[in-house]
C-alpha cells in the first residue's frame, strides 16, 4: 500500500512554479474551485434523500428552502470564486449575462471563469453521474468591470480548465496546459488525492458515443461515420461498441480513459448543435488536447473558434485523435457544407 498521498492542494502548490508570473493567484483560484466541488459533492450525494428531507421548492427541516441542485451548485461556485478574490467575473450556464464580482478584492482580479456548475442535471433523479465544467482565462481589459473581450476569447487562450465528475467516486481533473492530472475525492479525509497523474487519451479506441435517437436529423457525414463504426472489419476491431450516458462529463471521462469518440453534431432541429462553446466544449477540448486527443466541430479545431456570444453553441466531435480525424473525413466527404 502506498504510504503517501498527494492532495490537490499540495499538487497545486508544487506546480505553482509552472506560472512564474501568476504570483499564486491561479493556484488559489484552483483551490477555491476544489472547495466548491466538495460542497456540491456533498449535496449531490444527498440528492436521493430529497423525498425524506423535502422536495425542491419546499422548506426543509431547518426552515430553509430546498433549492434545485443546479441552482445550488451555481451559487456555491460563484460564492467560492467571490470569496477567493482572484476572479473578477463569472460566465455561467445558469446566468443570462456575465456575473461581475464587484468587491474591493475582486474588482481588479486578473482572471475570469466560465462554468457549467452542474451539467447533465436531468440525470440526478436517476442516480447517473453528473459533472461540473470550468474554464479560466486571463482578463484582457482593466477599465472598470470586465467586458465582452474578456470572456469572448479563443479557447486556445485558456490558462486552465477542468471538470469534476460526481460518479461512483468523485474526481477532479484539470489542466493548466502542462498535461492533465486527475484527483479522486477520498471522503474519509475530505481531500482530492492524486490518482491519475499525467492522463493520456489513447490515440484510437473502440467506443462511439452519440444520441442515436436523433439519427434521422444528423448530417450525412455523421450518418456515414456511424455506419463505419458499425461495419464488420476484424483489422480495426469493428464494429465498435456504442456507449452513451447522456451526461457530457461522464461520457468524456470514460472515452478519455478508455479511448473513443463522443459526437454531438448539428441536427435539423439544432443546426448549431446543443452543447455550449464557452463552458462545455472549450474546457473539455483543452483537456482532451492536453491528453493527446482531439476536438473539432466536424470541420475545424474547437479551440480556434471565435466566440461571439456567452451561450453560443457548437457541434462537438471529441476524443481519441485518430477517431476524430476519421469522423472529420466523413464530414468533409458527405457533408461538405459547414452548417455552423
Ligand atoms: P444540460 O447543460 O442542459 O445539462 O445539457 C447538456 C447535456 C450533456 O451533459 C449531454 O452530453 C447532452 O446534454 C445530452 O443531450 P441529449 O439528451 O440530447 O442526448
Ligand atoms: Mg450543461
Q: Which three cell numbers stand for residue 232?
A: 464488420
Note down pLDDT in tens along the chain; length 340 residues: 555 899 999 998 888 877 666 668 888 999 999 999 999 999 888 877 765 555 666 666 666 666 688 889 999 999 999 999 999 999 999 999 999 998 888 888 999 999 999 998 778 878 899 999 999 999 999 988 999 999 999 999 999 999 999 999 999 999 999 999 999 999 999 999 999 999 999 999 999 999 999 999 999 999 999 999 999 999 999 999 999 999 999 999 999 999 999 999 999 889 999 999 999 999 999 999 999 999 999 999 999 999 999 999 999 999 999 999 999 999 999 998 765 5
Minimum CA distance residue for ligand 1 atom 3: 120
Q: Give the number of the ligand closest to the Cα of residue 133.
A: 2
Mutate to test the pocket of ligand 1, among 274, 276, 279, 317 (most ligand atoms within 8 A of CB): 274
Mutate to test the pocket of ligand 1, among 264, 284, 316 (most ligand atoms within 8 A of CB): 264
Q: Give the number of the ligand closest to the Cα of residue 92.
A: 2
Please tell me the predicted confidence (pLDDT) of residue 227: 98
Q: Which residues line ligand 1 (CB under 6 A)?
A: 93, 119-121, 211, 246-248, 264, 274
Q: Which atom of ligand 1 is nearest to the CA of 131?
A: 9
Spell out the domain ranges in the chain: 8-196, 207-339
- What is the rounded CA–CA span in Å between residue 279 and residue 267? 21
Minimum CA distance residue for ligand 1 atom 14: 246
Q: Which atom of ligand 1 is nearest to the CA of 247?
A: 9
Query: What is the CATH code of the structural domain delimited by 8-196?
Result: 3.30.540.10
Mutate to test the pocket of ligand 1, among 208, 218, 246 (most ligand atoms within 8 A of CB): 246
Residue 247 Cα to ligand 1 middle (Å): 6
Q: Which atom of ligand 1 is nearest to the CA of 249?
A: 9
Q: Which three cell numbers stand for residue 173?
A: 481533473
Which candidate, 298, 293, 281, places its Cα nearest to that of 332? 298
3-state helix/strand/coil string of 69-89 = HHHHHHHHHHHHHHHHCCEEE
Q: Which atom of ligand 1 is nearest to the CA of 262?
A: 11
For the chain, the farthest-separated pair of C-alpha atoms sits apart, in whole angstroms, at 63
Do the beta carbons of residue 181 and residue 173 sit within 8 Å? yes
- Out of 3.20.20.70, 3.40.190.80, 1.10.10.10, 2.10.109.10, which CATH number does the structure's domain 207-339 have? 3.40.190.80
Q: Which three cell numbers stand for residue 273?
A: 448543435
Please tell me the predicted confidence (pLDDT) of residue 137: 97
User: Mapping DSSP to helix (H, G, I), strand (E, B) and coil, where does residue 319 land?
Assistant: strand
Q: How far is CA 26 from each of CA 22, 23, 168, rounded to the nearest angstrom?
A: 6, 8, 29
Q: Which atom of ligand 1 is nearest to the CA of 251?
A: 11
Locus of grid cell 479506441: 205
Residue 248 Cα to ligand 1 middle (Å): 6
- Beta-strand pair 170-175/130-138: unpaired
Q: Which three cell numbers stand for residue 123?
A: 440525470
Please tell me the predicted confidence (pLDDT) of residue 51: 58
> Going along 232-322, which residue ranges are E strands?
241-242, 261-264, 294-296, 316-319
* pTM of the model as a whole: 0.94
Locus of grid cell 483551490: 31
Amino acid at each position: 500500500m502506498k504510504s503517501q498521498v498527494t492532495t490537490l492542494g499540495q499538487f497545486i502548490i508544487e506546480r505553482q512554479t509552472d506560472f512564474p508570473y501568476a504570483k499564486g493567484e491561479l493556484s488559489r483560484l484552483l483551490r477555491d474551485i476544489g472547495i466548491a466541488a466538495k460542497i456540491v459533492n456533498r449535496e449531490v450525494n444527498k440528492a436521493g434523500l430529497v423525498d425524506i428531507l423535502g422536495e425542491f421548492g419546499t422548506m426543509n427541516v431547518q426552515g430553509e428552502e430546498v433549492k434545485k441542485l443546479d441552482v445550488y451548485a451555481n451559487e456555491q461556485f460563484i460564492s467560492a470564486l467571490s470569496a477567493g478574490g482572484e476572479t473578477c467575473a463569472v460566465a455561467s450556464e445558469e446566468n443570462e449575462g456575465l456575473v461581475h464580482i464587484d468587491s474591493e478584492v475582486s474588482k481588479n482580479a486578473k482572471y475570469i471563469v466560465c462554468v457549467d456548475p452542474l451539467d447533465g442535471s436531468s440525470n440526478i433523479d436517476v442516480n447517473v453521474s453528473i459533472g461540473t465544467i470550468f474554464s479560466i482565462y486571463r482578463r484582457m481589459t482593466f477599465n472598470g468591470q470586465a467586458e465582452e473581450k474578456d470572456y469572448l476569447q479563443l479557447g486556445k487562450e485558456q490558462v486552465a480548465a477542468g471538470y469534476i465528475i460526481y460518479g461512483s467516486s468523485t474526481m477532479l481533473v484539470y489542466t493548466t496546459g502542462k498535461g492533465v492530472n486527475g484527483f479522486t475525492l477520498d471522503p474519509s479525509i475530505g481531500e482530492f488525492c492524486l490518482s491519475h497523474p499525467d492522463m493520456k487519451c489513447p490515440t484510437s479506441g473502440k467506443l462511439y458515443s452519440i444520441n442515436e435517437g436523433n439519427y434521422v436529423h444528423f448530417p450525412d457525414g455523421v450518418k456515414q461515420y456511424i455506419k463505419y463504426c458499425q461495419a464488420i472489419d476484424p483489422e480495426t476491431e469493428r464494429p465498435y461498441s456504442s456507449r452513451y450516458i447522456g451526461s457530457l462529463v461522464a461520457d468524456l471521462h470514460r472515452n478519455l480513459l478508455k479511448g473513443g469518440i463522443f459526437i454531438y453534431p448539428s441536427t435539423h432541429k439544432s443546426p448549431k448543435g446543443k452543447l455550449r462553446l464557452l463552458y462545455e466544449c472549450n474546457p473539455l477540448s483543452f483537456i482532451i488536447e492536453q491528453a493527446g486527443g482531439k476536438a473539432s466541430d466536424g470541420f475545424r479545431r474547437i479551440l480556434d473558434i471565435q466566440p461571439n456570444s456567452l451561450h453560443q453553441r457548437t457541434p462537438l466531435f471529441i476524443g481519441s485523435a485518430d477517431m476524430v480525424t476519421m469522423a472529420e473525413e466523413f464530414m468533409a466527404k458527405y457533408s461538405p457544407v459547414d452548417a455552423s
